[in-house]
Structure formats: C-alpha cells, structure tokens
Amino acid sequence: MDCRQAGELTPWYVAGSLPEGEARDLVRHVAGCATCQDELVQAARLARELRRAFAGMPGASQGTWAKVAARAQGMPLARVDVGSFLLGLSVGLTATRTGVPVTGRLQILGREVPVFEVGTGGER
C-alpha cells in the first residue's frame, strides 16, 4: 500500500466502516509512515467534528408524524392504556381518510372489545 491508497482508506477507517482486511493493511502502512500517521490523527479529529455537526442539525418537525400517519391511514396517532392485562381500557386517536376518530377498547384477559368510537360520523 502506498500513501495515496492509504489516504483514500483513512476516512473510512476513522468512520469505522473499513472492512477488516483493508483496515489491517492500512494500519500496517501507517505504523511505518509518519506522514500517514499525521493524516490519520487529522482524519480522526475531522470525523469527530463532522459527527458532532451532523448530530446538531435540526430534526423533523413535531407535526410531521401526524401528517405521515394521516396519509398512511389507519395509523394510531396516540394511545393511552390504563389497567392491566386482566382488565384494562385503551383510548386511542387514529388517523383515517374521514378524520381523526377516538376509539375506546376494553381489554379483558388480553382480548380487546370495542366499546366506543366517536368522530367518524357514526358512534358505536
């Protein structure tokens, strides 16, 4: 391996994705090359700065999930469970083509029984 090849592989090594065989060859070259040792230190520093910079970028806005769920249809937007496996009640908001109905389900021994649904034009 020469310095040019080592320079191509160094970023992938510090990113942690270089295949084992190539990583071994790179380390062998770097161990005997002061120039590539400096290059490796610089690349590791750059990798750390880049990861920090990307992680500090903004994320998707809070409202995006509701839009995705509404378009996917039938997706639960929110769900609250009270009680236990033996006896409990779930109240959920679900996005559908016609709106955002609220549904309630009684859980008895792990089986769910619909008890009410409002917001779809027809109440149960």
Partner 1 sequence: MAQDGELVARVAQGDGNAFRELYGRFADRVFRYALTLLRNRHLAEEVVQETMVAVWQGAGSFAGRSQVSSWIFGIARNQAYRLLREEEKGERTANEPTCAPDPADVVEQEDRVRDAVAALPPGEREVVFLAFYEGLSYREIAGLLGIPEGTVKSRMYHAKRRLAEVLSPWTAGRQAS
Chain contacts with partner 1 (rule: CB under 8 A): 7-12, 15-19, 42-43, 45-47, 49-61, 64-65, 67-69, 71-72, 74-76
Q: How many residues are listed for the chain in this entry?
A: 124
C-alpha to C-alpha distance for 14 and 6, rounded to whole angstroms:
12
Instruction: Supply the minimum distance, in Å, between the C-beta of residue 42 and partner 1.
Output: 6
- Residue 8 or 83 with smaller CB distance to partner 1: 8
Instruction: Supply the minimum distance, in Å, between the C-beta of residue 38 and partner 1.
Output: 11
Instruction: Supply the minimum distance, in Å, between the C-beta of residue 73 and partner 1.
Output: 9
Q: How many CA atoms, within 13 angstroms, populate the side-chain half-sphere of residue 36?
A: 22
Instruction: Supply the minimum distance, in Å, between the C-beta of residue 30 and partner 1.
Output: 15
C-alpha to C-alpha distance for 15 and 9, rounded to whole angstroms:
10
Q: Residues 107, 108, 111, 116: what is their CA dihedral angle, to the nearest 10 degrees?
A: -40
- Please choose, from the candidates 75, 72, 91, 84, the residue with its C-alpha nearest in 3D space to the C-alpha of residue 108: 84
One-letter amino acid at 2 equals D
